[in-house]
Amino acid sequence: MKAWEANIRKVVPYVPGDQPKGDHLIKLNTNENPYPPAPGVARALQELDYDRFRKYPDPAVTDLVHTLADYYGAGDDQVFVGVGSDDVIAMAFLTFFNSGKPILFPDVSYSFYKVWADLFRIPYETPMLDDEFHIRPEDYARENGGVIFPNPNAPTGCLLPLEAVENIIQHNQDVVVVVDEAYIDFGGTSALKLTEKYENLLVVQTFSKSRSMAGMRIGYAIGHRDLIRAMNDVKYSYNSYTMNLPSIVLGVEAVKDDGYFRETLDKIVKTRERAKVRLRELGFTFPDSMANFIFASHERVPAEKIFQALKEQQIYVRYFRQPRLDNYLRITIGTDEEMEELFAFLEQFLKQEEQESAQ
Ligand SMILES: *Cc1c(COP(=O)(O)O)cnc(C)c1O
């Protein structure tokens, strides 16, 4: 071994979902939005003068920060914008989780948390979800170095009621509590208004799911100005120009068109509720989801087998080869047409499986 190899930072990276290429494929594996971004985004993109690319973008992301602050009724100094919520959450880990005490997040949760904790050498403990995949707030009432959880949780889709979220914050006022609301727009109640009451609460949201802009990489955090100032200090110590110009300009346009936003959300929620009925008819069980995906297990056919069969049909869903999760499929809610194709295939495939096992 060469001497320098001993000093390499060794990490086990997060594994993102596949981004398969092809014409006729149905992509229900990374919780993207099946509908395009707001029409104003397309217009602004066409009008964007490429000569502006010569210059650095605004390091403070002023326009987008202001637009978001306005939209959520917060002050500009209470909003932090980053390169997707992954960047925002990584900054929050680096900024707030430095006590040396273990931070807490659920055992079944967004698997990136563990990766950042390892990368930044932050100790952590992972309280177990209950048998129905629900977070137990009482597990977070012990000494710790900080708390983070997604709400609704991923990959389960389970929503923790706002009172339970507040209960966790109340028991943790000496540390920063981060609520990762990547899926909150699909039907949950945001903890945003609790940021007025609790200075230690940071709420993180993203443009990647509900705002149809995963490719632009925009995420944001809202919280007390002291939290936001601390995050900006860390950001400016790392990379001042995180947000590129098109993301800033187009992000503003996406927020402006609230009517379009509500319309697409409504469509996805309706499709999700119909999907719950259809999946039950097909013999699937799942925790009730308030996100844009359903985490489903079949009563007879193993998830991995269904996953493979779907993949051969160019229908991509997410499968986690992990204890406790390995008999589930995480199915993103697509358009009605995409979901119909999924159900039609499942119906025929499951029938065939049943006939074979009966023989
Ligand atoms: C998708 C997701 C994110 C990250 O989204 P970005 O694309 O980086 O904004 C963060 N947390 C959870 C729980 C997610 O599902």
Question: What pLDDT is stored for residue 137 in this prediction?
Answer: 98
**Cβ-proximal residues to 272 (8 Å cutoff; 6+ apart), any chain:** 186, 289, 292, 294, 333
Instruction: Give pLDDT tens digits for 79-101.
Output: 999 999 999 999 999 999 999 99
Query: Is residue 231 over pLDDT 80?
Result: yes
Query: Is residue 333 over pLDDT 80?
Result: yes
- Give the span between the Cα atoms of 22 and 45, in whole angstroms: 25
Band of residue 1 on the pLDDT scale cut at 50, 70, 90:
confident
Q: Are strands 315-319 and 329-332 parallel, antiparallel or unpaired?
A: antiparallel
Instruction: Give pLDDT tens digits for 241-275.
Output: 999 999 999 999 999 999 999 999 999 999 999 99
What SS3 class is residue 293? strand
**What is the CA(305)–ligand 1 centre distance, in A?**
27
Band of residue 16 on the pLDDT scale cut at 50, 70, 90:
confident
The average pLDDT across 31-37 equals 97
> In ligand 1, which atom is closest to the CA atom of 85?
9
Compute the 3-state secondary structure of the chain and give helix, strand, coil in percent, each to the nearest 5. 45, 15, 45
Token couple for 51: 């000569």
Is 109's C-beta closer than 6 angstroms to any atom of ligand 1? Answer: no
- Which residue is it, tokens 């097909």? 282
**What is the CA(20)–ligand 1 centre distance, in A?**
19
Distances in Å between the Cα of 53 and the Cα atoms of 46, 58, 213, 241, 271 are 14, 12, 20, 13, 40
Phi and psi at residue 294, in whole multiples of 5°? -130, 135
**Cβ-proximal residues to 324 (8 Å cutoff; 6+ apart), any chain:** 107, 108
Band of residue 211 on the pLDDT scale cut at 50, 70, 90:
very high
The average pLDDT across 340-359 equals 92
> In ligand 1, which atom is closest to the CA atom of 30?
1
Q: Between 23 and 165, where is the model more confident?
A: 165
**What is the CA(72)–ligand 1 centre distance, in A?**
20
The average pLDDT across 47-67 equals 97
Contact 71, 211 (CB under 8 A): no
**What is the CA(28)–ligand 1 centre distance, in A?**
15
Which of 16-20, 95-99, 197-201 has the lowest average pLDDT? 16-20
The DSSP annotation for 7-42 comes to GS-------PPP----SS-EEESS---SSPPPHHHH
Is 208's C-beta closer than 6 angstroms to any atom of ligand 1? Answer: yes
Distances in Å between the Cα of 119 and the Cα atoms of 106, 110, 140 are 18, 15, 23
Mean pLDDT (the chain, rounded): 96
